[in-house]
Amino acid sequence: MLAEIITIGDEILIGQIVDTNSAWMAKQLNLIGVSVKQITSVSDDEAHILSSLAQAEERADLILITGGLGPTKDDITKKTLAKYFGMGFRSDAGALEMVTSIFKKYNRPLIDINIQQADVPDGCEVIVNKNGTAPCMWFEQNDKIFVSMPGVPFEMMYLMDDEILPRIKSRFTLPSIVHKTILTANIGESFLAKEIEEIEDILPDHIKLAYLPKLGQVRLRLSAKGTDDTTLNQEVEVYAKQIISKIQKFVVVDEDVPFEKAILNIMKDRGVTLSTAESCTGGYIAHLITQHPGCSSVYWGGAVAYAYALKESILGVQESTLNQFGAVSEETVKEMAEGAIKHFKTDYAIAVSGIAGPDGGTDDKPVGTVWIAISNKNKTVAKVFTFSNKRIQNIERSAASALTMLLNLLKEDGLKE
């Protein structure tokens, strides 16, 4: 079964927002065995929406549409869908009740344009949106299904989880799609490819191998398509095992988890704790870690020590070190990591201090210079990196490098045990 996703909204095409909905929907659809054929973003323009709907209807069985359902005049998705299906409008009692109750809950008066949110094309089935005022609409035509959902991510997510995915699962016999991911670090894409060339060459046609490089890590993804999950899983496991045994020392974990989550899992298994002392990454490493449920058994917290004063007061960096070597130096970053171990009483600590840019560089420490230190209770490892002149990139790469250094120290400590 093939699906397409159409996201509607000028804000996507002028680049004001990043379309995160599509990736989330695609992931959920793949998990139940629906392949996504295409993702299309179009503007709030009637003619263009109509032609996208027609093209998607030709290619796919299921068309999921998000966006353009707000109460304001720039949103035309509902009107355009009515035109596409040749339908008139009716007010939907369930949708009106939901709109009314939401406004009551927030103690706000109900005005005309909110009431109009409950008007829907008269041939669609309404699926009540419990988290917002725009109803979800389900259309069928020529054996194709069209679902229109609001573009607000959490409203769309609830509708997908609670309503749309269960309906699709119960109505269709879906093929099995099995993915298996192997997360690697400390090796580049082309070297990995060379290492596992012979295994890749003998993969059967229904199993594909993809390389997904990102910030010093490469994910290898085996994808198999067939009729039976169990068989596919067994097949994929055979190839995964061959690959893993070939590149053992680069493998972080053989599941599709974010890098920091893989590290958290290793630390949780060992019963060790972590703290952070961040300057130029400004809380980004802490944020990466604390995105994950259950992180609190490993991660105790840390400091975002932007100002000199906080490096001294929270982390106990010596004033003389800062004055003599500067904030971006091996000496300072080591004191930051060791200070975190001491003051936050954790088994491991990450410290980062650098010049994220775009300003603040000097001749001997240009923008992109980043010192990273990792400590356990006995040892501190420090390393300097020279990244780019782009701030966000430098923050992300610093975080990835710090996590790789932490992984390497954990591996080293693991060998000793």
Shortest approach of a second copy to residue 224 CB, angstroms?
12
d(CA 222, CA 236): 7
Number of CB atoms found within 10 A of residue 164's CB:
23
268 binds a second copy (CB under 8 A): no
Place of tokens 């992180």: 295
Shortest approach of a second copy to residue 343 CB, angstroms?
7
Helix 46-59 to helix 77-85 angle, to the nearest 10 degrees?
Answer: 60
Member of 76, 152, 165, 272 binding a second copy (CB under 8 A): 152
Looking at residue 198, its amino acid is E
Shortest approach of a second copy to residue 30 CB, angstroms?
5
Closer CB to a second copy, 87 or 304, in the complex: 304
CB 169 within 8 A of CB 32: yes
Member of 90, 208, 225, 246 binding a second copy (CB under 8 A): 208
The residues in 301-340 that bind a second copy, with binding defined as CB under 8 A, are: 301-307, 309-310, 313-314
Site string for a second copy, 350-369 (x = CB under 8 A): ------xxxx----------
46 binds a second copy (CB under 8 A): no
The residues in 244-263 that bind a second copy, with binding defined as CB under 8 A, are: 256
225 binds a second copy (CB under 8 A): no
296 binds a second copy (CB under 8 A): yes
229 binds a second copy (CB under 8 A): no
Closer CB to a second copy, 245 or 291, in the complex: 291
Closer CB to a second copy, 50 or 87, in the complex: 50
Place of tokens 């230190």: 373
Q: Which stretch binds a second copy (CB under 8 A): 140-148, 227-235, 258-266, 390-398?
A: 390-398
392 binds a second copy (CB under 8 A): yes
CB 372 within 8 A of CB 333: yes
d(CA 329, CA 345): 24
d(CA 101, CA 104): 5
390 binds a second copy (CB under 8 A): yes
Closer CB to a second copy, 238 or 392, in the complex: 392
233 binds a second copy (CB under 8 A): no
165 binds a second copy (CB under 8 A): no
Do the strands 35-42 and 2-8 form a parallel or antiparallel pair, or are they unpaired? parallel
d(CA 327, CA 47): 57
Sheet holding 380-386, edge to edge: 274-278, 348-354, 369-375, 380-386
Closer CB to a second copy, 29 or 149, in the complex: 29
Member of 300, 330, 384, 408 binding a second copy (CB under 8 A): 300
Closer CB to a second copy, 123 or 283, in the complex: 283
Member of 200, 312, 330, 413 binding a second copy (CB under 8 A): 200
Do the strands 217-226 and 207-214 form a parallel or antiparallel pair, or are they unpaired? antiparallel
The residues in 116-135 that bind a second copy, with binding defined as CB under 8 A, are: 133
Number of CB atoms found within 10 A of residue 301's CB:
14
Shortest approach of a second copy to residue 166 CB, angstroms?
18
Closer CB to a second copy, 72 or 378, in the complex: 72
The DSSP-derived string for 46-98 is HHHHHHHHHHHHHH-SEEEEES--SSSTT--HHHHHHHHHT--EEE-HHHHHH
271 binds a second copy (CB under 8 A): no
38 binds a second copy (CB under 8 A): yes
Question: Going by C-beta distance under 8 Å and a sequence separation of 6 or more, which residues neighbour residue 317?
Answer: 305, 311, 332, 335, 336, 339
- Cα distances (angstroms) measured from residue 247 to each of 2, 110, 221: 35, 62, 14
The residues in 53-112 that bind a second copy, with binding defined as CB under 8 A, are: 55, 70-74, 108, 111
289 binds a second copy (CB under 8 A): yes
Shortest approach of a second copy to residue 191 CB, angstroms?
7
CB 215 within 8 A of CB 400: yes
CB 343 within 8 A of CB 315: yes
388 binds a second copy (CB under 8 A): yes
CB 102 within 8 A of CB 133: yes
239 binds a second copy (CB under 8 A): no
d(CA 373, CA 357): 20
CB 374 within 8 A of CB 337: yes
Shortest approach of a second copy to residue 74 CB, angstroms?
5
186 binds a second copy (CB under 8 A): no
Structure tokens at 204: 């059967």
